[in-house]
Structure 1
């Protein structure tokens, strides 16, 4: 018995047998694109449902977070090496492309085996729901976006794939084909707009409105006045303070968590004598410190840009730890994000006098959403993967023997002091013979930079001029005046920190505890 299809006519839809048309040229392709359109509808409706009931449970975002959690560590490092801070958009694009390919196949399947197609859509919906409920912040409604999106996508797939088979029997210039194309394009466009607006609303509009309403109190302990000469007037050198829009972002969150400060709670618990829970308002009411601190990602290659300097406002972490009174053996402080990410810093480092803080402000503003609003950790001198938890909701006192934070089982070191490094910002590529300003930045957070030297080709090391010291927790700009001669030259820089340690020439990758080597650039002088 030939399979049945739905054929459109002026009075609605009639049910009739149709086998030959299914084999007409173009029928399978249209059915395939029906699957892609259905996937767009499923994602768009799922995003809309997520915006209403559970923003973090949007199916694509939930599946992306699972991919990030389970992808092998070498692939993660490769993605950061290749794409840098664009790794998340690339991952999202990859998921969309893969979903489109699967949906194309499902559409073709649905043309001849409708219930198989529906079953495939249901399987994708189940996968999205499972990914959503696997999140640390999941709730009973986390399955809703995937289920609602799956139902919508399945219905559209059933209808369009049937129609695609029927119009394949029409002449190439048939009205039905044009109507099918117009309908499919309209559905896809509508779904894309719905998904985009819903994502924007759930992730940005609501949080940004709450963030805009925050009035940060003045610091009880303001930053020291910056000394004259803390920044150099050299064209091409990195700005001393990094604008928020240019500050690097590396984290495991595929979508930016939307945290309502009115509902925010911070728990400090674990191996402590007096567990503590604070609201966002209560944190703001505590004495705040203001400090200039340079943060650096452990994935930063020699000469890389995954580093930035900002002015942070926050609660001194040592004060909070003194209040909860950790056990003597609680040598690890684990910060936990709202999405379940964890980073473990040595408790001793957070209490040794450095300006470790729970930051609520950045460069004079409440924390931007992408940098951890409403609260994040900042610990000078440690790479971010062990200290800089964003969207912070918990601090747990434990020990390194008892608990491994997120990156440790993936092969990274448990303790991660930032290594002494330097970078050449200018010149790059070409220069004109004569005096050339060779300039850049150098950093050794919580030790400070004592000297920077530059070498041309294989010549002697020459001392560079340093900017004035603003803090041992910030980078320093440097410049060396080079009498450049025509030809192709290689410039190399090295720094020495205040402990007397000069950065090594030995080349090592970022894993497991930070890259080493000297940064060099090749310049053609005309």
Structure 2
């Protein structure tokens, strides 16, 4: 009589591990499908990732931005997936020996995902827990079923006697699970994408009106024709992005509303997008900078923004700046994903072109840059001014409330420091001896650049040639023709703003109020 024996350990263990992975895949796929009925942000990867971002120490976040740039969120999500895959393998192996406890262990991860979802600042309540819970239950049942196929006796060809394991049953079950999970995940992703179609349609239909106060033409000579230098205007698709959103909010401009309220507000306002379009629009070239920008870093860009002055709206709401006796010294902007950004009221009402921006470089704001409305404040780092996807402005005090980044050890106020950067030649470049053009950008938003100096090795400082100054709110290009000699050389740059403040040599990290120091590059002249 032929008897099928149990598979050897080198067969059982990989199949048990595969069972765990299939269960994990099913959990995420089902959660994606359920999140389509709740909201995309309630999915476990997004919820756990968001919770991880909120709880990550500021130096670690700064490290991630510095080393991974705009891929920091992708790296986080891949890390979460890798961790879940490893845990799924472990649970599959446990279930091989302890079928019920191993399968039940999957439910614990559903609890973790559910807890993360409902703990998020933008949580809509208990419904946000459903994707993680339903996904975990399905995964637990699936793991129990698959492991059962590894341990269930298989019928023999003689008299129906059974022994060993159900190879055919396992293969059918595993294949069916994989196909069903892929289908559920694909459908869930499609439905989640469809949720944003109204937002996409509202942006597509938007035609920005001509501003009542247009930007002056860019000053002649503001853009140097030097290969390798940053363009004066940064294209939208090249503009830096630093935020905490794992899912880019897609907000329908036709249903969007902005509320202005709080301390010192005598006439609270609720404004629609059309209300903003109907007000006096201004258009300005403004350079914005992220506080996570290291010396010589890429997180800075210049764009032509169109929007409504924040000061006009605040005055309409009855707000007075502290210098005029107003009781509120902090404006807290809240986004649709519950990010909070605190700005000094005095700064946004002191005459600078602080605005609620609706457009960027002649187009409606891209979704990644805050459509339908975001804040832009010249002279302040983004973490205290550049709230994307804004929906609420509350007037309060710095003593009464700490915004998101301030709670994570960043300074309450973030004026941009005077800085400069060498764009060309790049670090470790190997130019030929002769005239080498050193060029880059310098910035001191809302103060302006007065001069830029370049030093070769430990030699004297040499005045660079400045491009035309467009406005004090934009960066300024500079160049210096250098008679390069063979060998290794260190090139260093520093800038002085129009207040007479020279960029400091002292190196500091980005925490708590922005990096400082001179930017240097080492090259080898051949």
The alignment's TM-score, normalised by the length of structure 1, stands at 0.91
Aligned length: 507
In structure 1, the partner of 2:208 is: 216
Alpha-carbon distance in structure 1 between the residues aligned to 2:188 and 2:96? 26
Structure 1 pair 234–351 and aligned structure 2 pair: CA distance change class (3 A):
same
Deviates more, 1:435-444 or 1:189-198: 189-198
In structure 1, the partner of 2:222 is: 230
In structure 2, the partner of 1:81 is: 66
1:492 maps onto 2:492 in alignment? yes
Alpha-carbon distance in structure 2 between the residues aligned to 1:356 and 1:86? 29
In structure 2, the partner of 1:9 is: none
Q: Secondary structure at the match of 2:144?
A: helix
In structure 2, the partner of 1:363 is: 361
Deviates more, 1:34-43 or 1:153-162: 153-162
In structure 1, the partner of 2:158 is: none
Alpha-carbon distance in structure 1 between the residues aligned to 2:522 and 2:274? 52
Task: After TM superposition, list the pairs within 5 Å mapping 1:277-316 onto structure 2.
Answer: 277-316=270-309
Aligned partners of 2:32 and 2:185 also within 8 Å = no
In structure 2, the partner of 1:258 is: 250
In structure 2, the partner of 1:454 is: 454
Task: After TM superposition, list the pairs within 5 Å mapping 1:113-128 onto structure 2.
Answer: 113-128=98-113
Q: 2:400 aligns with which of 386, 390, 402?
A: 402
Alpha-carbon distance in structure 2 between the residues aligned to 1:209 and 1:160? 45
Aligned partners of 1:31 and 1:111 also within 8 Å = yes
Q: 1:45 aligns with which of 27, 30, 33?
A: 30
Deviations 1:358-382 (A, max 9, x none): 1111111111111111111111000
Give the superposition deviation at 1:430: 1.3
Alpha-carbon distance in structure 1 between the residues aligned to 2:201 and 2:19? 38
Q: 2:21 aligns with which of 36, 41, 54?
A: 36
In structure 1, the partner of 2:42 is: 57
Alpha-carbon distance in structure 2 between the residues aligned to 1:91 and 1:433? 44
In structure 2, the partner of 1:145 is: 131
In structure 1, the partner of 2:517 is: 517
Aligned partners of 2:36 and 2:188 also within 8 Å = no
Root mean square deviation of aligned Cα: 2.4
Q: Secondary structure at the match of 1:86?
A: helix
Give the superposition deviation at 1:21: 3.3
Aligned partners of 1:40 and 1:191 also within 8 Å = no
Deviations 1:388-422 (A, max 9, x none): 11111111100011111111122111111000000
Alpha-carbon distance in structure 2 between the residues aligned to 1:383 and 1:305? 14
Q: Secondary structure at the match of 2:6?
A: helix
Task: After TM superposition, list the pairs within 5 Å mapping 1:83-122 onto structure 2.
Answer: 83-122=68-107
Deviations 1:476-506 (A, max 9, x none): 1111111111111111111111111110111
Give the superposition deviation at 1:178: 5.8
Give the superposition deviation at 1:175: 5.6
Structure 1 pair 115–263 and aligned structure 2 pair: CA distance change class (3 A):
farther
Q: Secondary structure at the match of 1:267?
A: strand
Deviates more, 1:127-136 or 1:21-30: 21-30
Structure 1 pair 459–517 and aligned structure 2 pair: CA distance change class (3 A):
same
Give the superposition deviation at 1:148: 3.0
Aligned partners of 1:118 and 1:158 also within 8 Å = yes
Alpha-carbon distance in structure 2 between the residues aligned to 1:152 and 1:467? 63
- Structure 2: gaps of 5 or more residues: 155-162, 321-325
Aligned partners of 2:491 and 2:521 also within 8 Å = yes
1:320 maps onto 2:313 in alignment? yes
In structure 2, the partner of 1:477 is: 477
Alpha-carbon distance in structure 2 between the residues aligned to 1:505 and 1:28? 59
Give the superposition deviation at 1:213: 2.2
Aligned partners of 2:339 and 2:404 also within 8 Å = yes
Give the superposition deviation at 1:206: 5.1
Q: Secondary structure at the match of 1:32?
A: helix
Deviations 1:35-92 (A, max 9, x none): 1122112212212222333122122101111111112222112212221221111001
1:239 maps onto 2:231 in alignment? yes
Q: Secondary structure at the match of 1:447?
A: coil
Aligned partners of 1:490 and 1:521 also within 8 Å = yes
Alpha-carbon distance in structure 1 between the residues aligned to 2:183 and 2:479? 54
Q: Secondary structure at the match of 1:21?
A: coil
Structure 1 pair 346–126 and aligned structure 2 pair: CA distance change class (3 A):
same
Aligned partners of 1:133 and 1:142 also within 8 Å = yes
Q: Secondary structure at the match of 2:208?
A: coil
Alpha-carbon distance in structure 2 between the residues aligned to 1:200 and 1:479? 46
1:163 maps onto 2:149 in alignment? yes
Deviates more, 1:318-327 or 1:142-151: 142-151
Q: Secondary structure at the match of 1:345?
A: strand
Alpha-carbon distance in structure 1 between the residues aligned to 2:208 and 2:381? 27
Q: Secondary structure at the match of 1:117?
A: helix
Aligned partners of 1:493 and 1:520 also within 8 Å = yes
In structure 1, the partner of 2:379 is: 381
Structure 1 pair 164–278 and aligned structure 2 pair: CA distance change class (3 A):
farther
1:468 maps onto 2:468 in alignment? yes
Aligned partners of 1:455 and 1:493 also within 8 Å = yes
- Structure 1: gaps of 5 or more residues: 1-18
Give the superposition deviation at 1:144: 2.8
In structure 2, the partner of 1:10 is: none
In structure 2, the partner of 1:135 is: 120
Alpha-carbon distance in structure 2 between the residues aligned to 1:341 and 1:235? 39
Aligned partners of 1:170 and 1:177 also within 8 Å = no
Q: 1:419 aligns with which of 413, 417, 420?
A: 417
Aligned partners of 1:34 and 1:160 also within 8 Å = yes
